Chains A and B, each alone.
Chain A
Amino acid sequence: MKISRRGFLKISGGVTTGAVLGTFGVHLKSSQAHAQTLKTKYAKETTTICPYCGVGCSEIVSVSNDRVINIEGDPDHPINQGSLCSKGEALIQVANNERRMTKILYRAPYSEKWEEKSWDWAIPEIAKRIKKTRDESWMAKDGKGRVVNRTEALAGLGGAALDNEECYLWSKLARALGIVYLEHQARI
């Protein structure tokens, strides 16, 4: 039986696809007197991979005026074929959520509250802390005089929610800093 789960536009095959996949191209049939326009009709669509478990389902994100208006399964994807679980179906609430962090927050020692900060302030401050901790704890050699070139006072945690490119940069930067306490979700 041939039942389409499509309805979303055909995304062409081939090695590369652009980020923006065009507008919704299906004619809306007037279903009745108060026919309503399909909400995704004029949306910009991109594909994404679900950020939850490790199955790697593809989803189609519909965006209107830089706001996500709909996310549902990508029917062309060979693994999920348009389907999703409850978490995947709820992904739009990650995109549009007033609980999201939108500001850089800083908590001073012994303080009871967050303070809002800017990137221009935070990046140099963080880099200074990293350098200070690294420099103060630097171990060029161990007790037996063997070269170790490491710090045991800096630690890094996390990465399973990052993209590969982000993981790689973090892995590389951490090694350059001499970090050995480098771990993430795969261990636990």
Chain B
Amino acid sequence: MTNHWIDIKNADCIMIIGSNAAENHPISFRWVNKAMENGAKLISVDPRFTRTSSRADIYAPIRSGSDIAFVDGVMNYIVQNNLFNQEYLVDHTNASFLVNTQFGFSDGLFTGYDGSKRMYKKDTWQYQLDESGNPKKDPTLQDPNCVFQLLKKHLSRYTLEKVSSITGCPAELIVEVAKTYGATGAKDKSATIMYAMGTTQHTVGTQNVRTYAMLQLLLGNVGVAGGGINALRGESNVQGSTDMAILFHILPGYLKTPRVENQTLAEYLEMWTPKSNDPKSANWWQHTPKYTVSLLKAFWGDHATKDNEFAYQYLPKVSANYSHISMFEAMYDGVIKGLICMGQNPAVGGPNVLKERKALEKLDWLVAVDLWETETAAFWSAPGVDPKKIGTEVFMLPAAASMEKEGSITNSGRWSQWRYTAVHPPGDAKSDLWILDQIGKELKKLYQADTGPFPGPIVHLNWNYGPGREEPDVHLVAKEINGYDLTTGKLMASFGALKDDGTTSSGNWLYCASYTEAGNMAARRDPTDAPNKIGLYPKWSWCWPVNRRIIYNRASCDLQGNPYAPHKWVVKWTGPETKWAGDVPDGGWPPGDKYSFIMKPEGHARLFGFGLADGPFPEHYEPLEAPVKNAMSAQQLNPVVKIWSGEMDDVGTVEKYPVIATTYRVTEHWQAGQMTRNNSWLVELMPDMFVEMSKTLAQAKGVKNGDRVRIKTARGEISAYAVVTARFKPFKLNGKSCEQIGLPWHYGYKGLATGHSANSLTPHVGDANTMIPEYKAFLCNVEKEVG
């Protein structure tokens, strides 16, 4: 979230799209309701009428996989009808920047496409530069090569008729959404977008998010109270685990994982430290060397010296994509021999789960750490599996629950919050911290005794959190994450003072300031609000970066530092002596001295996003499995998506599988189910796997509410109870009626409540930028179960 949960109350309009916040983040509705009590309008965009839609002023149904068309259509209306915020566009976005005259777009492809590699060469996706190497601009937004005009041209193809025929949403509803939402283009109004996995789990997931961000920029809704682009995260610490980089492509604090091209630290820093010649650009990532060296010092302490590139060679270097789908494809192919699985249940939650379960069978060993016997830990005893044929050794380690250990977790709003040990874990269960500490110590011992290849990174690893078999001191870890001034031994006060000469350490620069000499900031419980009274609660817990509650907040003010919305100001300039008031500003420089989007080298938010793999503007492509031909171009599928074509990666056609399917979560269950399907009260509420379908589809298939039905895709087949409901309606796509069904994906074969896993149906295909699986749109067939 750029903003945070409480801030939702400050919105004049709320669009919930690709999210079912009322069901999956119920407490968010505490703040949605407060906004509505103050007159805010709620828009729910969803293929299915949900508990969120039940509260909405406008419900706009769109079929799964058509977000870009929908939002591009809304943006087109906003641009055509001058509802955008021109001052904001010029001052805070790259709308006025001139783009290379060779840049172009034709029939679904941007310039530079290489079909043989399924990727773009981006040499035309660049700004025109002036003599000093800075982007050229036209503040009147009239130059035909400026971003705004290029965007306008790109969007103009998304007419109401076209968008309606792609999405299935009636044109008048699109207009109603555009007008209602577009009204927040007024300077002192704001609107927020709440999104989640309905947005990201597509082959165009990243571009889906981009369309929302662009809509917000057009209306001047980023950096302001009641605005922003807000990803509602589904696990309690998925923000923190991302920040800590349990992902192949990043290191803690979003530093890049070294690539094989980065053979030396110097080469690494050269490639990943952006440059700007513009003195008004803060270009925050210019500090990459300080954060990198401080990380290496945290990892390898005294063994990281100037002479050995601060142990840079101890970091593995990547040369491919190692993301979730790739991991399971490699496991299936026998490349991966050992898997350590901590609190994740891919045998239910992974895409194309029949393949992923098969992949687990090929492991030599599996370590599963969990509170419960999960489907993953017990994959060898799944229904239809013969354990006698599976050679995988499995270690199932009992873990402590959240209230049985101490530490911090980071919510969607980036608040790191400390929690305490209330009781001892049951039996032999131990905290993950203890388990990791023990394994770490044991490995150090093994490599000290018998060198093996490249023992340095393990033997020299900074690993001192407590003796023997004791519970490690979690505060020592928290302090290491924050970092130290190694010359004084004092905790760092903030990342502003981190250095690239080896005199500071910080395990994660973004968390530098979270645990200082003043104490554990995440444990703070002072309920005082900030002077602007917009619900920032700056002394309650701590949020990254540097306790800034609304990021990009310099964009909430004009270039003189006056808030656009004085009644809900975030920051304001109070003069050279007293400087900024309100939230922690995005850098303390006086207004106008620096551009507002400090994380971008050009200092401006990007309407033209040349960093993406699949195009600088969002273009509609169909999902891997789609019921229709792409109405926008000859490019059916996102042209840079990786196609997996191994065993068990079959793709279905509309002839055989005419019904759109999507997956989702419900209030009463959580993720892959292990934390709720073992809980009798929640099982009582949602005991069985079900499928939701329209009355028309049910009638056509002779299905009544409560009947058992079978759902089949090219990957698998499952059985479920039918919920026949008016909340699903067929979509009119280019004149043709198309049905959609919905499946909760929480169920599996272990636990108190069992049921078939929806992910038996989903494909192994991922987003072009992130490789997030396309869980949300695929094709199936539905039949009534006989007998």
Q: Are B316 and A130 in contact (CB under 8 A)?
A: no
Chain B residues with CB under 8 A of A153: 335-338
Residue B728 lies at the interface, judged by CB distance under 8 Å to chain A? no
B430 at the A/B interface (Cβ < 8 Å)?
A: yes
- A93 and B680: CB pair below 8 A? yes
Residue A164 CB within 8 A of the other chain: yes
Of B556-564, B668-676, B698-706, the segment with at least 4 beta carbons within 8 Å of chain A is B668-676
B141 on interface, CB distance cutoff 8 Å: no
A118 CA / B428 CA spacing, docked (Å): 8
Q: Is B547 an interface residue (CB 8 A)?
A: no
CB pair A104 B398 closer than 8 Å? yes
Q: Which residues of A contact B446 (CB under 8 A)?
A: 127-128, 131
Query: Does A169 touch B at the CB level, under 8 Å?
Result: yes
Indicate if the CB atoms of A158 and B668 lie closer than 8 Å: no
Partner among B27, B322, B527 whose Cβ is within 8 Å of the Cβ of A183: B322
CB nearest neighbor in A for B241: A159
Quick one: which of B368-393 are within 8 Å of A by CB?
A: 369-373, 377, 380-381, 387-393
Residue B260 CB within 8 A of the other chain: yes
Given A14-B526, A46-B420; A85-B27 close (CB under 8 Å): yes
What mask results when residues 160 to 188 of chain A are scored 1 for a CB within 8 Å of chain B, else 0? 11111111111111111111111111111
Count how many pairs of residues, one from A and one from B, have CB atoms less than 8 Å apart in the complex: 512
Q: A86, B246: Cβ atoms under 8 Å?
A: no
Q: How far is B397's CA from A57's CA once the two chains are assembled, in angstroms?
A: 28
A183 to B652, CA, bound (A): 28
Task: Please determine whether A86 and B342 come into contact, CB atoms closer than 8 angstroms.
Answer: no
Complex Cα gap A14–B540 (Å): 9
Q: Which residues of A contact B350 (CB under 8 A)?
A: 188
Chain B residues positioned under 8 Å from A16 (CB to CB): 519-520, 523
Q: Is A100 an interface residue (CB 8 A)?
A: yes
Q: Determine the chain A residues whose CB is within 8 A of the CB of B388 once the complex forms.
A: 110, 112
Q: Which of A1-9, A22-30, A31-39, A134-142 contacts B (4 or more CB under 8 A)?
A: A134-142
Assess whether B527 is in contact with A13, with CB atoms less than 8 Å apart.
Answer: yes
Query: Whole-angstrom distance from the CB of B271 to the nearest CB of chain A?
Result: 14
Q: Does B787 make an interface contact (CB < 8 A)?
A: no
- Residues of B within 8 Å of A51, CB to CB, are 236, 401-402, 675
Identify A131's interface contact among B337, B341, B443, B540, CB under 8 A. B443
Tally of B interface residues using CB under 8 Å: 175
Interface centre among A12, A114, A180 (most CB of B within 10 A): A180
Q: Is there contact, CB below 8 Å, between B527 and A76?
A: yes
If A79-B27, A130-B439, A164-B237 touch, does A94 touch B401 (CB 8 Å cutoff)? yes
- Residues in A whose Cβ lies below 8 Å from that of B525: 11-14, 17, 47, 76
Closest A residue to B481 by CB, please name it.
A168
Query: In the complex, which residues of chain A have a beta carbon less than 8 angstroms from the beta carbon of B668?
Result: 86-87
Residue numbers in B under 8 Å from A161 (CB-CB): 235-237, 342-344, 675
> Would you call B520 and A15 a contact (CB within 8 A)?
yes
Scan B19-58; emit 1 where CB is below 8 A from any A CB, else 0. 0000011111010000000000000000000000000000
Q: Does B507 contact A (CB under 8 A)?
A: yes
- Give Cα A61 to B403, complex, Å: 8
> Are A159 and B244 in contact, CB atoms less than 8 angstroms apart?
yes
From 393 to 435 in chain B, residues with beta carbon under 8 angstroms from any chain A beta carbon are 393-399, 401-413, 415-417, 419-424, 426-433
**What residues of A have a CB within 8 angstroms of the CB of B315 in the complex?**
149, 175
Bound CA span A130–B452, Å: 12
Contacts of A83 in B (CB 8 A): 27, 30
What is the chain A residue whose CB lies nearest that of B252?
A: A171
| CB <8 Å contact, A125 and B395 | yes
State which of B316, B338, B339, B394 has its C-beta within 8 Å of the C-beta of A106.
B394
Chain A residues near B419 (CB-CB < 8 A): 47-49, 163
A107 touches B247 (CB 8 A): no
Q: Which of A53, A99, A106, A134 contacts B233 (CB 8 A)?
A: A53
Bound Cα distance from A159 to B440, whole angstroms: 17
In the complex, which of the residues B252, B339, B775 has the most CB atoms of chain A within 10 Å of its own CB atom? Answer: B339
Q: Among the listed A48, A90, A168, A173, which residue makes an inter-chain contact with B420, where contact means beta carbons less than 8 Å apart?
A: A48
- Pairwise interchain contact B403-A104, C-beta atoms closer than 8 A: no
A99-127 contact mask (Cβ, 8 Å, vs B): 1 or 0 = 11111111111111010001100111111
A-B contact pairs, 18 of them (CB 8 A): A16-B519, A53-B25, A54-B234, A54-B239, A95-B423, A99-B373, A106-B393, A110-B388, A110-B390, A112-B381, A122-B397, A123-B439, A153-B335, A155-B340, A157-B324, A157-B346, A183-B248, A188-B201
Known: A53-B25, A53-B233, A177-B458. 4 other contacts (CB 8 A): A78-B535, A81-B30, A163-B408, A168-B508
Interface, chain A (partner B; CB < 8 A): 11-17, 19, 44, 46-58, 61, 63, 66-68, 71, 76-81, 83-88, 90-91, 93-95, 97, 99-112, 114, 118-119, 122-131, 133-138, 140, 142, 146-188
Sorted from nearest, which 7 A-B pairs have the closest CB atoms? Answer: A102-B427, A56-B411, A163-B407, A158-B344, A54-B233, A150-B316, A160-B235
